[in-house]
Amino acid sequence: MRIQSLCNISRQALYRPNINLVSRHAKHTKAFVTTPIYYVNAVPHIGHLYSTVLADTIRRNYILHGKDVLMSTGTDEHGLKIQQAAEKNNMKPIEFCNQVSESFKRLCQAANIEYSSFERTTNPHHKKAVNELWNQLLKNGYLYKGKHEGWYAVSDEAFYANNQVQESVDEKTGEKIMVAIESGQRVEWTSEENYKFKLSAFGDRLLQWIDENPNAIVPNNRKNEVISWVNQGLSDLSVSRLRSRLDWGIQVPNDPEHTIYVWLDALTNYLTATGYPWSKDAALQDYFPPDVQVVGKDIVRFHAIYWPAFLMAAGLPLPKQILAHAHWTMGKQKMSKSRGNVADPFQVMKDYGVDPVRYYLVRDGGLADDGDYSEEMIHTRYKKDLAGQLGNLLNRATATSLLPSGNVPGKNQTIDPRDEMLHHQISETADNYNRAFEERDFSKAYTYIFDMANKHFAENEPWKMAKQSQEKERLDTVLYYSLEACRVAGILLQPVMPTKMDLLLTRLGVAPQDRYFKDAAQLELKQRPLGQIEGVLFPRL
């Protein structure tokens, strides 16, 4: 961590926990975090892993603040693409969905993702929620039947206006085609009768919501995109397809000729996860609306325009934050099987370990701009940050030659001038980390944690002090700060590396009930016995 300049405060004040910071997160006891529900037309890739790990890290960070957290993930299983993919594999749609949906569950299990609910749009209780939302929109006058003409992209499951498409050339056939500017996917002119949602009625209300809630859409470049789209004018949205063209989906209530269009169906999953439609004693209703919804930048339009408009129309509260991250590239190029530059998430976790991969993805993943995936960088993070700094400091500071008593030294109120800068740094790490994390600047948050005490440890040469009895008090002080740095780091890194940090905190003798943010926000002065773990925390790759 970068060394901070000393504030002009008393030494006694350095020991006080930041009460405002602790209490700020104690006011609201529940939180709800969501991932997108993943489309089952293909197996999981590194982007799916990133979205899910990011959401799980945010979930665990809420727990760090003592909150009760609901997290939902799942699979989006309806639509023309699924229907076509199942036919291509000579399978029934539900059989195809069962197979691919299981691969996403396996990904969560492999990556230590602890979701509360795994929503599948083929589940009966989801159909019930979609029907309820549809009926509310109809009852409130926001649905009508009309004729829809426009450019439709099967790959995107989306209609596009004339100003959202352009002419292109098919690389394989040389044929002139029309494509969506936003996604590059082929579009075809389509004309059919369907139900439409009065999206055009919500432009001003959406802009007001964004203006009154500056962190509703992050990062800023994504928010600006959404504002630009709304300012261009919103057209009413097709929310059904003729069942003769698409029968793999939920039927429109009381109209057997129409299938509910996938985005209205899919977005409802966030309500489904809380038991919607809610009864009077609904246990999960209090979790809604979501605190953070993690999505990829390619679906920000649906989550930051359609979704809040549906909620407004139904009289439901709006999400507190939509976190729309960028994509992973490889060699600065979009990952694709044809290029051979696709990373297998299962294999990379097998090669480097689950926690190191989680740490790399959250620290180096792109939010505003695409992140370039590199196994060389995973190796560097592992060797430099994890093994070289945190693991190395833990191993050296807990060595029997330095701590023959097997106890973490305690500390009195006096601060030696030689330690004052480090003391201040450790005291402020939790606050600095939390501020950066809440601003979704994850790289900065982790920068505050690492390298807190390695320099101090090396400069004081405790291995020399251990040989001189008159240096016992100074040795204890140096080890105290080294192990405090490890303790604070271990607590704050739990959300992103839960398994490894459990081992670290166990080694330091930190009890489970003392592993919360409030514990990292103040220095621990009491002596305590070290615990035992097998092997090195971060062994050589």
Which three-class secondary structure state does DSSP give residue 146? strand
| Tokens representing residue 241 in the block | 């397809």
pLDDT at 155: 76
Q: 433 or 151: which carries more pLDDT confidence?
A: 433
pLDDT at 231: 97
E strands, 16-67, are 30-34, 38-39
Residue 281: pLDDT above 50? yes
Residue 10: pLDDT above 60? no
pLDDT at 203: 97
Fold designation for 374-529: Isoleucyl-tRNA Synthetase; Domain 1 (1.10.730)
Strand-pair category, 176-180 with 165-169: antiparallel
Binned at pLDDT 50, 70 and 90, residue 27 comes out as: low
| Rounded to 5°, angle at Cα 192 from 168 and 158 | 45
Rounded to the nearest 10 degrees, what angle do helices 80-88 and 93-110 cross at?
100
E strands, 143-297, are 143-153, 158-160, 165-169, 176-180, 186-197, 217-218, 237-238, 240-242, 251-252, 255-260, 292-296
Identify the bridge partners of residue 251 per DSSP, sorted by sequence position: 259
DSSP code of residue 14: G
For residues 484 and 456, is the Cβ–Cβ distance under 8 A? no
Backbone angles phi, psi at 257, to 5 degrees: -85, -5
Peptide bond into 219 cis (omega under 30): yes
361 vs 383: CA distance, rounded Å: 15
Q: 182 or 3: which carries more pLDDT confidence?
A: 182
Binned at pLDDT 50, 70 and 90, residue 338 comes out as: low
Mean pLDDT for 457-486 is 92
Residues 6+ apart with CB under 8 A from 224: none
Identify the bridge partners of residue 39 per DSSP, sorted by sequence position: 76
- The structure's pTM equals 0.89
């919360």: which residue's tokens? 516
Residue extents of the structural domains in the chain:
30-141+201-234+262-339, 143-197, 374-529
Mean pLDDT for 82-102 is 92
| Rounded to 5°, angle at Cα 447 from 446 and 452 | 105
Fold designation for 30-141+201-234+262-339: Rossmann fold (3.40.50)
Binned at pLDDT 50, 70 and 90, residue 317 comes out as: very high
95 burial via Cβ count (<10 Å: 0-12, 13-18, 19+): exposed
Q: How far is CA 376 from CA 164, 360, 382, in A?
A: 39, 11, 10
pLDDT at 23: 33
Binned at pLDDT 50, 70 and 90, residue 190 comes out as: confident
The fraction of the chain above a pLDDT of 70, given in percent, is 94
310 vs 324: CA distance, rounded Å: 19
Residue 138: pLDDT above 70? yes
398 vs 408: CA distance, rounded Å: 8
Identify the bridge partners of residue 364 per DSSP, sorted by sequence position: none
pLDDT in tens, 503-535: 999 999 999 999 999 999 999 999 999 999 888
Residues 6+ apart with CB under 8 A from 254: none
Chain-centroid distance, C-alpha 203: 28
Mean pLDDT for 399-420 is 93
Residue of 422, 446, 421, 424 lying closest to 433 (CA atoms): 446
Residue of 101, 141, 91, 119 lying closest to 32 (CA atoms): 119
Rounded to the nearest 10 degrees, what angle do helices 46-64 and 354-364 cross at?
90
């809380």: which residue's tokens? 274
178 vs 170: CA distance, rounded Å: 9
pLDDT at 386: 97
Q: What is the mean pLDDT of the chain?
A: 91
Residue 222: pLDDT above 90? yes
